Amino acid sequence: MDQDSLGGPAPLGQVELDDLLREVLVRVEGALDEKERLRLLLDAVVTMAADLSLDGVLARIVAIAGALVDARYAALGVLGGGADRRLRTFIHHGIGDEQAAVIGDLPTGHGLLGLIIDRPETLRLHDIAEHPSSYGFPAEHPQMHSFLGVPIRTRGRVFGNLYLTEKSGASDFTAQDEEIVVALAAAAGVVIENARLYEETQRRERWLVTTAAITSQVAASSNYEDVLTEVADRARAAASADEAWVLSGSKPGEVVASSGSPVGVPAWLAEASAGSAGASAALDPCPWLRVPLGGDRVGQPLTLVLAWSTERQDAFDEVDQSLAESFAEQVALAIEVSQRREVDERMAVLEDRDRIGRDLHDLVIQRLFAVGLGLESTA
């Protein structure tokens, strides 16, 4: 009876063969798993590209990223356009609305999230709390340990960052997870850019439709001043602004039409009504845009001012000033045409009065004089 039959160790060659087979099986399973993930990645890209709305695209990217790497929590932070480069939008997945409300305000880009904003590079961590840039979590925030952060770029600029935490069934995200998310971020950048171009096209179309409608209305009105409120309404809607005013240059800050029904007239309107066209995000209390709107009856300039609340800075950043200026130019031209038509109508009335006066002088008065002479002769 040999040692193997007695339960002793197997020959060296047999041990090496078992290890080799085990390694082959692991690699085959890994290859199959990687193939499946690549298929899921391709399906994810196709799914993202099917939605042209930017909000819908961002929500899909977050959900897909979490599913691809088995992350319990996923989020996408969109960078703002300001100089501070903080997050203006934070879309999360894995935390319910009720729990999010208990946690409180969404992140704005400080701590570990801010590190990826300042240095847009992939970051993979074993434990968030061990990183020196970590701020910790609010009291009601779920505990998170493993972390993977990847920037999303569009046209060479960083649009935002993907944040993934708490990998299911493992303590850390792997290098393969990182490669998958980096590939997803690259595809997401293209999809996001297409969605932004689509939304920009929609905004341009909205401005064009608004311009055509309001110029026709001004041109058809017997008094252009009657439609200045409509001008403010339509401009506010096209620009997705919170408030709009038409100001007169006869007195700084004098409002001749408004939309949005502000409580009182802000003192800064006097400053906004002066000067040339322009935009500002620094003037208190909110970001605003000013464009000239032609002149009134006595030659004083009219000004269109659009304003956004400070909470809607992103809507202000998305406005194309050239479209607002083009709208204002067309409206100013329509107002000028309306004013000239009013002048022509007044001139026509004066000419009629002058003709009637001549008729009275040349015909009626002469006949009355002749009748008077006849009556005098008869008497």
Tens digit of each residue's pLDDT (9 = 90 or more) over 187-196: 888 877 888 8
Query: What pLDDT, on a 0 to 100 scale, did the predictor assign at position 25?
Result: 47
CA atoms within 13 A on the CB side of 371: 6
Written as one letter, the residue type at 213 is A
Q: Which residue has the higher pLDDT, 163 or 132?
A: 163
Q: What is the band of 129 on the pLDDT scale with cuts at 50, 70, 90? A: confident
Distance CA 133, CA 118 (A): 12
Query: What pLDDT, on a 0 to 100 scale, did the predictor assign at position 248?
Result: 81
Distance CA 73, CA 95 (A): 7
Angle, CA 360 vertex, CA 357 and CA 361 arms, to 5°: 85
Mean pLDDT, rounded, for 176-194: 83
CA pseudo-torsion sign 239, 244, 246, 252: negative
The closest of 126, 113, 203 to 160, measured between CA atoms, is: 113
Tokens at residue 77, please?
Answer: 């932070």
- Indicate if the pLDDT at residue 87 is higher than 60: yes
Alpha-carbon distance values, 283 to 175, 247, 278, 310, 341 (Å): 48, 17, 12, 11, 39
The secondary structure element, H or E, covering residue 210 is helix 175-220
Mean pLDDT, rounded, for 318-343: 81
Q: In this structure, what are the phi and psi dihedrals at residue 211, rounded to the nearest 5 degrees?
A: -65, -45
Domains with residue ranges and CATH for the chain: 13-198 (3.30.450.40), 221-340 (3.30.450.40)
Distance CA 173, CA 181 (A): 11
Q: What is the band of 128 on the pLDDT scale with cuts at 50, 70, 90? A: confident
Tokens at residue 252, please?
Answer: 């700084």
DSSP single-letter state for residue 254: E
Q: In this structure, what are the phi and psi dihedrals at residue 160, rounded to the nearest 5 degrees?
A: -175, -165
Q: What is the band of 148 on the pLDDT scale with cuts at 50, 70, 90? A: very high
Phi and psi based region of residue 169 (left: phi greater than 0; alpha: psi -120 to 50; beta: remaining): left
Long-range Cβ contacts of 122-125 (<8 Å, 24+ apart): 122/148, 122/149, 122/150, 122/151, 122/178, 122/182, 123/147, 123/148, 123/149, 124/148, 124/149, 124/172, 124/173, 124/178
The closest of 202, 260, 196 to 51, measured between CA atoms, is: 196
Alpha-carbon distance values, 346 to 10, 217, 298, 333, 334 (Å): 115, 21, 15, 20, 18
Query: What pLDDT, on a 0 to 100 scale, did the predictor assign at position 2?
Result: 45
Asked if 147 and 124 touch (Cβ cutoff 8 Å), the reply is yes
The closest of 245, 264, 343 to 302, measured between CA atoms, is: 245
Q: Which residue has the higher pLDDT, 67 or 250?
A: 67
Average of per-residue pLDDT values in the chain: 75
Query: What pLDDT, on a 0 to 100 scale, did the predictor assign at position 39?
Result: 65
Asked if 107 and 161 touch (Cβ cutoff 8 Å), the reply is no
Give the rounded percent of residues in the chain with a pLDDT score beyond 70: 69
DSSP single-letter state for residue 240: T
Asked if 296 and 248 touch (Cβ cutoff 8 Å), the reply is yes
Mean pLDDT, rounded, for 320-338: 85
Distance CA 175, CA 156 (A): 24
Q: What is the band of 164 on the pLDDT scale with cuts at 50, 70, 90? A: very high
